[in-house]
Amino acid sequence: MAKYVAIIGAGISGLPAIKQCLDSDLIPICFEQNSFIGGLWRYEDISEKNKESYSTIYKGILTNTSKEMSTYSDFPIPVDWPTYLNYTYVEKYIDMYAENFNLLPHIKFNTTVLKVSILPDKRWKVKYIIKSENEEKEEVFDFVMVCSGHHSKPKWPEFKGMNLFKGEQLHSYKYKRAINFENKRVLVVGSGNSAMDIAVELTHVASQVYISIHSGKLPWIAPCFLKGKSQDSIIKSFPIPSHLKLPTDPLIATSSTINSEIFQCLAAGTIIVKPNIKELKSENSQIEFVDGTILENIDVVIYSTGYYIDYPFLEKHIYTGGDEIEQVYRKDFLDIAWLYRSIFSPKYPNIAFIGLAHRAGSLLPICEMQARYVTSLFKGSIKPLPSQNEMERSIHKYYENGLKKYCKSARSGIRLSHLPYMDALSKEVGCYPHPYEIFKKFGFNFWKLFMFGMATSIYSKDIGFYPHSYEIYKKFGFNFWKLFMFGMATPIKVALTNWRDSREDAKDATYTQIVEKDESV
Ligand SMILES: Cc1cc2nc3c(=O)[nH]c(=O)nc-3n(C[C@H](O)[C@H](O)[C@H](O)COP(=O)(O)OP(=O)(O)OC[C@H]3O[C@@H](n4cnc5c(N)ncnc54)[C@H](O)[C@@H]3O)c2cc1C
């Protein structure tokens, strides 16, 4: 009997969800509140039109993950596009993907999901409203895939005097263009990618830019390219070995921020780093910091302080595990998602969350692999999920490991190590590519590319040349290990990782080869 899947959202997680449902003979119905696909990547200049918008990106945004590492496995991003894409390219890629797989007919646009509730027979009732009709409707589904993103409810910090401050205060989701801040003295609060991007952009027009960082020190910052290779093909490929306990915040334990230009700005003093804010004052638009220093005449404060995980259409316990669990972990983790493999609520295995990840690596291939895993499970074509108890044990373990591995500022309860995670899911799905099979099917040249090229989703797997910290220790001893783990990403490391520039290589990895490859193993 046909099985129906409700998909909520048509962004970069909802679109592969539709595609994978179709591939698995499930019937997807996607609800999208906007009149377009692409979610937050569809840029809208709300500052110009003075209206609300779903889009949280800014005009100058570039992806912080390279195109090679950001592609869906079955539809490579065109080789002649730049390595890091601005939103126009991302929009175009999303449109091309949807058109290529004919996904649009499966989307109900301008339709907002209001409530998703479980029925006694374990199916889901989806209550929704179509904007033009103003009348609530309901439909029942066998499965739900929640693809509504987690960047729509801004997190504001709480500082003394925020209500008294005379300057402008905004959250970064409202930031659209630097030009609106010409000749202003601006303080950006935060140390993630958006904070750094915005601060750098502002230096071109603002009279002075400051950046306030909670810990008082800069996070690890990686330039876009290292030795001619995109940084995410090198740095982001480091899974954190589970035996490793890290006392502070070395590169691999935190999310590094990607920005090439910030070094220049710091060197030139066009961006000045300040510690956490102590108080905002009305007098002279002053801001006092925890180290006792004071800035005067600050015109604008931009809070680039993240977002809450929020699914207003769902009961919260479904994705947080309920109050008891929250109490255990809330003190240590900034976000809580009580989900097996960051996807399944142990109590409700027929609802899946796609894209709920603070990832080291691009979210696009992660969403695609999650969708493949979920639809294979829904279809019943792979080994079923473990018992509720086992799933809960696994989530506890994930949090306990997280406590050991990540420094406080990076303790996100939805953090994933990109490649190990992709490996685990691809093994479940049955698309984990074995080198010998690759060699047999495609010959030596493709095998070499597969083995020594980038670990893009096109290959699905980094298969054994990854430099494991323990192996490095065994082979080269403590001093080199220390340098390897905590030193710069020097050419030595790069050589060890054996990565090659994918630009030329990627041309060989044609669409057909990729599809065939997945089916062959
Ligand atoms: C500034 C910024 C930069 C980023 N840069 C990168 C990057 O370079 N690389 C990367 O991999 N990731 C990046 N990310 C992470 C980002 O979350 C993902 O790239 C991606 O946009 C998430 O896709 P999504 O489909 O899960 O969510 P979204 O893009 O948020 O899409 C969700 C969709 O669901 C719809 N929706 C929501 N609620 C409802 C409802 N109740 N009913 C119907 N429809 C609903 C929305 O309208 C939207 O279309 C960035 C995030 C931000 C904020």
Per-residue pLDDT of 265-293, as tens digits, reads 999 999 999 999 999 999 899 999 999 99
**Ligand 1 neighbourhood includes 57 CB (under 6 angstroms):** yes
Q: What is the dihedral of CA 196, 200, 203, 205, to 10 degrees?
A: -110
pLDDT over threshold 70, residue 255 = no
Atom of ligand 1 lying closest to residue 363 CA: 11
Q: Whose CA is nearest to atom 45 of ligand 1?
A: 9
Handedness of CA 508, 236, 390, 320 (dihedral sign): negative
Residues 457-479 pLDDT 10s: 544 333 333 455 666 677 777 87
Contact 216, 275 (CB under 8 A): yes
Give one DSSP letter per residue of 198-210, joined into a string. Answer: HHHHHTTTSSEEE
> Do 156-305 and 4-152+308-418 have the same topology in CATH?
yes
Give the per-residue pLDDT at 400. 79
**Atom 7, ligand 1: residue with shortest CA distance:** 63
The finding on whether 85 has its CB within 6 A of some atom of ligand 1 is: no
Long-range contacts made by residues 410-413, C-beta under 8 angstroms, separation at least 24?
Answer: 410/249, 410/253, 410/254, 410/255, 411/332, 411/333, 411/334, 412/255, 412/333, 412/334, 412/335, 412/358, 413/329, 413/333, 413/334, 413/335, 413/336, 413/337
* 4 bridge partner residues: 27
Mean pLDDT of 332-353: 90
Torsion angle of the four alpha carbons 257, 261, 266, 271, in this order, in degrees rounded to the nearest 10 = -90
Of the options 3.40.50.2300, 3.60.110.10, 3.50.50.60, 3.20.20.70, the CATH number for the domain spanning 156-305: 3.50.50.60
Q: What distance in Å separates the CA atoms of residue 170 and residue 154, rounded to the nearest whole number?
A: 10
Does the structure show a pLDDT above 70 at 489?
no
For the entire predicted model, the pTM comes to: 0.84
Range with lowest mean pLDDT among 234-238, 265-269, 309-313, 420-424: 234-238
Q: Where are the domains of the chain?
A: 4-152+308-418, 156-305
Cα 23 from Cα 75, distance rounded (Å): 14
Q: Give CA separation, 90 vs 20, 38, 79, 96, in Å.
A: 20, 9, 14, 10
DSSP-derived pairing of the beta strands 257-258 and 221-222? parallel
Strand blocks (E) in 313-395: 344-345, 348-353, 358-360
- Ligand 1 pocket member 33 (CB < 6 A): yes
- Element housing 111 (H / E): strand 111-118
Pair 31, 126: CB distance under 8 Å: yes
| Ligand 1 atom closest to the CA of 128, numbered from 1 | 42
Which tens digit of pLDDT belongs to each residue from 119-156? 999 999 999 999 999 899 999 999 999 999 999 899 99
Quick one: fold of 4-152+308-418?
Answer: FAD/NAD(P)-binding domain (3.50.50)
Q: 350-385: per-residue pLDDT in tens?
A: 999 999 987 667 899 999 999 999 999 999 999 999
Pocket flag, ligand 1, residue 39 (CB < 6 Å): yes
| 167 within 8 A of 302, measured Cβ to Cβ | no
* Residue 54 in contact with ligand 1 by CB distance below 6 A: yes
The pLDDT of residue 245 = 36
